[in-house]
Amino acid sequence: MKHGKKYLNAVNMIDKTKLYDVNEALEACIKTATAKFDETVELHVRLGVDSRHADQQVRGAVVLPHGTGRKVRVLVFAKGDAAKAAEAAGAEYVGAEDMVAKIQNEGFMDFDVVIATPDMMGVVGRLGKVLGPRGLMPNPKAGTVTPDVGKAVTDAKAGKIEYRLDKTNIIHCPIGKVSFGVEKLADNFNTLMDAIIKAKPAAAKGQYIKSCVVASTMGPGIRINPAKLGNN
Per-residue pLDDT tens digits for 30-52:
988 888 899 999 999 999 998 88
**CA geometry: angle at 39 spanning 34 and 42, to 5°?**
115
Q: How far apart are CA 80 and CA 60, in angstroms?
A: 28
Q: How far apart are CA 114 and CA 18, in angstroms?
A: 40
* pLDDT confidence of residue 105: 93
- 26: containing domain: 5-67+161-228
Distance between alpha carbon 168 and the CA centroid of its chain, in Å?
Answer: 16
Phi, psi values for residue 194, rounded to 5°: -60, -45
Least confident of 12-21, 111-120, 167-176, 219-228: 12-21
Q: Are residues 136 and 82 in the same domain?
A: yes
Q: Are residues 78 and 145 in the same domain?
A: yes
As a whole number, the mean pLDDT across the chain is 90
* β pairing state of 113-116 and 160-164: unpaired
Contacts 24+ apart (CB under 8 A), 2-7: 6/34, 6/35, 6/218, 7/218, 7/219, 7/220
Residues 35 and 217: beta-carbon distance below 8 Å: yes
DSSP string, 116-163: E-GGGHHHHGGGHHHHGGGT-S--GGGT-B-S-HHHHHHHHHHTEEEE
* β pairing state of 209-216 and 160-164: unpaired
Choose the final residue of a domain: 115, 130, 157.
157
Choose the final residue of a domain: 138, 157, 176.
157
Q: Are residues 96 and 111 in the same domain?
A: yes
* pLDDT confidence of residue 3: 57
Q: Are residues 136 and 199 in the same domain?
A: no
Cβ-proximal residues to 130 (8 Å cutoff; 6+ apart), any chain: 103, 104
Phi, psi values for residue 52, rounded to 5°: -70, -20
Q: What is the CATH number of the domain that holds 139?
A: 3.40.50.790
Whether pLDDT at 131 is above 80: yes
Q: How confident is residue 5, by pLDDT bands cut at 50, 70 and 90?
A: low
* pLDDT confidence of residue 228: 77
Q: Are residues 12 and 57 in the same domain?
A: yes
Q: What is the CATH number of the domain that holds 189?
A: 3.30.190.20
Q: Are residues 143 and 182 in the same domain?
A: no
Whether pLDDT at 13 is above 80: no
Q: Are residues 119 and 146 in the same domain?
A: yes
Choose the final residue of a domain: 117, 142, 157.
157
Q: How many domains does the chain have?
A: 2
